[in-house]
Structure 1
Amino acid sequence: MNIIFIHQNFPGQYKNIAAFLSASPNNQVLAIGDRKNIHTQDPRLQYGLYGTPSPVHNDIHPWLAPLANHTQRGIAAARVLRTIKTKGFKPDLIFGHLGWGDCMFVKDEFPDVPFIGFLEFFYNAQGADCNFDPEFPSSSELSHNLRLKNATQLVSLPLMDSAISPTHWQAKQYPHFIREQINIIHEGINTTIIKPAEQPVSLQILSKGLQLTQDNEIVTFVNRNMEPYRGFHTFMRALPDFLQQRPNAHVLIVGGDNVSYGTPPKNAKTWREALLNEVGNQIDSSRVHFLGKIPYADYLKILQLSTVHVYLTYPFVLSWSMLEAMSAGCFVIGSNTGPVTEVIQDGINGWLTDFFDSQTLAKKMAHAIEYRRELQPLRQAARQTIIEKYDLHTRCLPQYIELINKTIKK
């Protein structure tokens, strides 16, 4: 079978399914994406890369600039599709992420080829990230702007023969007319690799001459970047009270200083700097460790060391890190927001907490450490949740294969 994946930052959400399909000698897999964003290439795949389209500088309304840039990206991807078509490559199936415009013209090049779209997030003025955080209110015109932010996806939605969204909550953000096409299939968690430690684990923090083991009290907080969308401000404000309640505890913070979502701070270079300016003099810096972006093996080790893992998010896209923490057997305190509540049941496989309440979060972190042994069943239940609902090999890949077969037969 000939299969095309389209993603400007390939592999993105297609990491697992693309690797699985390309492992079969009966499949020929082609990845189309932005040359700037694809730094490593899987030798089992073919690649069709386009150059990053130049930003639009014409005198247009700023709300239209993203759509114009996405259109350029769609044209660039279409040129790649046209080139492979002239070389005789005929796909049996095309996967594509609808968010950045790459798929806007896919059916113009291959009108008869089934297309499965990936639906990650549809913007809404109410009920999701917009105006969720009163500390960072949105402008009154944002709802107008959001309609245009959805324009790229709205152009591409009619092209789909089937659709995938990773959680029910994310799927429900999309318009009613498309929801029946959406299949809830997560990218999958490899629970055979991401699991509780079978041997003693330790971590050295050389800059502080410190070695931490599973005997230490360790709170972990992981995100791609430290920013309000992922609750970094609430977490940092919880630390003074928490560190006072647990004088021997250490805090491991993993993530970069860029902005993935939302906007940069106004009075500091990074959100880490902004929050340290606010609460830094109230915390013991010898016990709070900013580890930056780290190798994946070290990240897994940190999850295995964790006594309590905190995951906070606006109502937005669910991070893989929360599910990976649960798979590693972490005790997770998650925010009482969608789609976290789709996975964590309070008191059953973790705890939920109010996103904004830093004082309650501090108490819950301290309480979870105090009663860590009594909470062991919840750790086990967290891992079991991932095995039963999100396991890569027994749940998610079979769901993908079922959808592929169903879509091709339409």
Structure 2
Amino acid sequence: MKILFIHQNFPGQYKHLAPALAARGHQCVALTLRVKEASTWQGVRVIPYGIKRKQGSGMHPWVQDFDTKVIRAEACFAAAMRLREQGFTPDIIVGHHGWGETMFLRDVWPTARIGLYCELYHLSGPDHTGFDPEFQPKGGPGEPLRIRLKNLNNLLHFPVADLAISPTQFQAGTFPEEWRNKISVIHDGIDTNHLVPNENASLTLPDGSTVTRSDEVITFVNRNLEPYRGYHIFMRALPRLLKERPNAKVLIVGGDEVSYGSRPPKGQTWKQIFIDEVRGRIPTPAWERVHFLGRIPYDQFVSLLQVSRVHVYLTYPFVLSWSMFEAMSVQAAIVAGATAPVQEALEHDVNGRLVDFFDGDALVDQVCDLLEDAPARESLGKAAREHIVQNYDLQTICLPRQLDWIDRLHEMAPGRVHD
């Protein structure tokens, strides 16, 4: 079987699936913007391509998002045409369509079966983009219209897809009903053999000190420190948290950029904005117990989760972070905001503690309660890991289901050009 992967940051969500298919003897090729030179990665032939066209000026702001996706789709289309001219005809195309790249691939290979990664369908309203009253979109009455137009890419891909995959029920549930029969809910998978509890874990901090399981460590992790992942809620809880826990060390992981949501005022970062907001209420000796680690290598990230006594996770109703599942896998005691994606995996007082996303005092109460209650931490942590092993384990649950999904895709009748 010939399989073509499309992902602007390959391998992305295919870091386990692509090598597994190559190991089965399938011819696997990937088109990606991530690299500059062709290479082979774990049996997958990785082919780079670039974008030459720039976004035009004077465009209506509501369609700028779609324009970027068409530009990417055009570049991927050209790369696919070159690949076809070289004699490659895939039986299956597997792609993350969120950036638009897969939009025209049915036109290149009409008979290929196409499976898409459905990460999110954009919805407005109080349960989605209007969730946080403090950071409402600035588009006024027309904002829901702009959000609707963001789905042009999704809508154009609906007739392209033969099957689709979403990692969580929440994410699948954002898509229109007519998509549902195409979408299989299969998580990317958690390597529970690697992400294990470790009583001997330690982590060296930037100041040269080392933390271990004997320290009172509170952890908070984002890809980037921003409101979409509750950074502002956590920071506003810090003054009281540090006061009530005089021996606690707070380790914060995340970059200064923006992954989701609105950007901060020009020349500023969300990280610094909320540091400035709370710093005056935190005495210097207490502030010295707060460590911003930035982005850290994965092995250090695992150690951080393993030394954590309580891990805090917050997110808007949005794509669920891998980091929450990874924390569960290492048997961390978790306090999390009770939003829909979180509640899919965490149940209050069963495998974690849940609080209202916006209630910083409740967050501090639950963190302090767990820091005082070792048996509760152990019970919740064990239940969290058991839940991940039983439902999200990479080798026994998720990867076999992904491979079965590929087999089902291959067994479908050859595709056709869709109008």
Same fold (TM over 0.5): yes
Kindly indicate whether residue 144 of structure 2 is the aligned counterpart of residue 143 of structure 1.
yes
1:91-145 Cα deviation digits (max 9, x unpaired): 1211011111101001101111110011001111125431100011223211000
Give the AA of the match of 1:170: Q
* Larger RCO of the pair (alpha carbons < 8 Å, separation 6+): 2
Which residue of structure 2 aligns with residue 12 of structure 1?
A: 12
Kindly indicate whether residue 308 of structure 2 is the aligned counterpart of residue 299 of structure 1.
no
Task: Give the secondary-structure state (helix, strand or coil) at the position aligned to 1:71.
Answer: helix
Out of 377, 400, 403, the position equivalent to 1:401 is 403
Name the CA distance, whole Å, in 1 between partners of 2:37 and 2:169: 29
Out of 325, 342, 345, the position equivalent to 1:343 is 345
Which residue of structure 1 aligns with residue 169 of structure 2?
A: 168
Give the AA of the match of 1:216: D
Q: 1:265: how far off?
A: 2.2
Name the CA distance, whole Å, in 2 between partners of 1:225 and 1:22: 33
Give the AA of the match of 2:131: F
Deviates more, 1:12-21 or 1:221-230: 12-21
Task: Give the secondary-structure state (helix, strand or coil) at the position aligned to 2:15.
Answer: helix
Q: 1:5: how far off?
A: 0.7
Which residue of structure 1 aligns with residue 191 of structure 2?
A: 190
Which residue of structure 2 aligns with residue 390 of structure 1?
A: 392
Name the CA distance, whole Å, in 2 between partners of 1:223 and 1:51: 29
Alpha carbons 2:257, 2:269 under 8 Å: kept: yes
Gap change, CA 1:232 and 1:41, over 3 Å in 2: farther
Gap change, CA 1:302 and 1:252, over 3 Å in 2: same
Q: 1:267: how far off?
A: 7.5
1:177-203 Cα deviation digits (max 9, x unpaired): 111111001100000001111x51222
Gap change, CA 1:324 and 1:179, over 3 Å in 2: same
Q: 1:60: how far off?
A: 2.1
Name the CA distance, whole Å, in 2 between partners of 1:40 and 1:382: 39
TM-score (norm 2): 0.94
Name the CA distance, whole Å, in 2 between partners of 1:137 and 1:401: 41
Kindly indicate whether residue 68 of structure 2 is the aligned counterpart of residue 62 of structure 1.
no
Which residue of structure 1 aligns with residue 362 of structure 2?
A: 360
1:59-100 Cα deviation digits (max 9, x unpaired): 321221221221121111111211111211121211011111
Out of 307, 317, 334, the position equivalent to 1:332 is 334
Q: 1:21: how far off?
A: 1.5
Name the CA distance, whole Å, in 2 between partners of 1:259 and 1:158: 32
Out of 346, 371, 374, the position equivalent to 2:376 is 374
Which residue of structure 2 aligns with residue 125 of structure 1?
A: 124
Name the CA distance, whole Å, in 1 between partners of 2:401 and 2:224: 31
TM-score (norm 1): 0.96
Alpha carbons 2:10, 2:34 under 8 Å: kept: no
Alpha carbons 1:36, 1:52 under 8 Å: kept: no
Alpha carbons 1:223, 1:230 under 8 Å: kept: yes
Alignment of 1:8-407 (within 5 A): 8-24=8-24, 26-35=25-34, 42=41, 44-126=43-125, 128-138=127-137, 139-197=140-198, 200-207=200-207, 209-266=208-265, 269-283=268-282, 284-407=286-409
Give the AA of the match of 2:83: I
1:273-305 Cα deviation digits (max 9, x unpaired): 101111012232211000000110000000000
Alpha carbons 2:370, 2:376 under 8 Å: kept: no
Give the AA of the match of 1:249: A
**Percent identity between the aligned chains?**
42
Task: Give the secondary-structure state (helix, strand or coil) at the position aligned to 2:93.
Answer: strand
Give the AA of the match of 2:93: I
Alpha carbons 2:91, 2:111 under 8 Å: kept: no
Name the CA distance, whole Å, in 2 between partners of 1:361 and 1:320: 21
Name the CA distance, whole Å, in 2 between partners of 1:111 and 1:360: 55
Name the CA distance, whole Å, in 2 between partners of 1:202 and 1:222: 17
Alpha carbons 1:337, 1:355 under 8 Å: kept: yes
Gap change, CA 1:307 and 1:35, over 3 Å in 2: closer
Task: Give the secondary-structure state (helix, strand or coil) at the position aligned to 1:216.
Answer: coil
Name the CA distance, whole Å, in 2 between partners of 1:82 and 1:245: 62
Name the CA distance, whole Å, in 2 between partners of 1:62 and 1:205: 44
Alpha carbons 1:201, 1:304 under 8 Å: kept: yes
- Runs of 4+ deviating beyond 4 Å: 35-41
Gap change, CA 1:232 and 1:45, over 3 Å in 2: same
**Across the two proteins, how many residue pairs are aligned to each other?**
407
Structure 1 alignment gaps of length 5 or more:
none
Name the CA distance, whole Å, in 2 between partners of 1:132 and 1:275: 19
Q: 1:204: how far off?
A: 2.0
Q: 1:53: how far off?
A: 4.2
Give the AA of the match of 1:359: D
Give the AA of the match of 2:49: Y
Structure 2 alignment gaps of length 5 or more:
413-419
Alpha carbons 2:39, 2:46 under 8 Å: kept: no
Deviates more, 1:320-329 or 1:15-24: 15-24
Gap change, CA 1:377 and 1:35, over 3 Å in 2: closer
Q: State the Cα RMSD in Å.
A: 1.7
Q: 1:19: how far off?
A: 2.2
